[in-house]
Amino acid sequence: MPASRSDKRPCRLILASASPRRLRLLAQIGVVPDDVVPAEVDETARRGELPADLARRLAEAKARSVAGRFPGACVLGADTVVARGRRILPKAENEAEARRCLNLLSGCRHRVLGGLSIIDAKGKAHHRLVTTAVVFKRLSEEETAAYIAHGEWRNKAGAYAIQGRAAAFISKISGSYSNVVGLPLHETATLLNGLGFHPGGKE
């Protein structure tokens, strides 16, 4: 996806993600990647791997998997992990899985861990890990059933989308909202600024 940009960018910027949410979030701070290239990475957690470690590892793996194909480019990779304690909740693929996730989140506090990694033009990795605490109200069976029937949960970490109907379930959030949506914008902008990009301003 070609970007409209000036020649002042330090390098070609590639988003290593198939997520339209991340593309929209970048646009919110004035960043339009030169290309969007989905990363082919196995997202399965390793035995005993902690949620934070998984988010960090996958973000870097996604960035490096694409950076290897585009030498000299800057590649942004990200991953979002929803965790209840040490338990990692999946990206729900069916209704039974979605129901299990929502039952675990109902009436409880959980964490959303956002891994962020940028591989610069010289191949050096720059990382951030952002943690947001989210509290769900206690869901009734009717609320859970209605949410599942709507289908918004499909392929969402933890089986919910804070930017959608699930916003009605969230009684408290502490930390980055955009991190829960899919990309921590403040930290992303900080990393990009450090590499010579200027999110939110003129490039």
**Catalytic amino acids?**
79
* Exposed e or buried b per residue across 160-186, where buried means at least 16 C-beta atoms within 10 angstroms of its C-beta: bbbbeebeebbeebebbebbbbbbbbe
Residue 147's closest CA among 168, 171, 117? Answer: 168
Residue 187's closest CA among 9, 26, 19, 20? Answer: 26
Q: Are strands 170-174 and 87-89 parallel, antiparallel or unpaired?
A: unpaired
How far out from the chain centre does Cα 135 lie? 19
Residue with tokens 């290309």: 35
Q: Distance (Å, rounded) from C-alpha 201 to C-alpha 39?
A: 28
Beta strands in 120-177 (DSSP E): 125-136, 170-174
Amino acid at position 2, single letter: P
Residue 112 · residue 82 · CB < 8 Å: yes
Residue 43 · residue 199 · CB < 8 Å: no
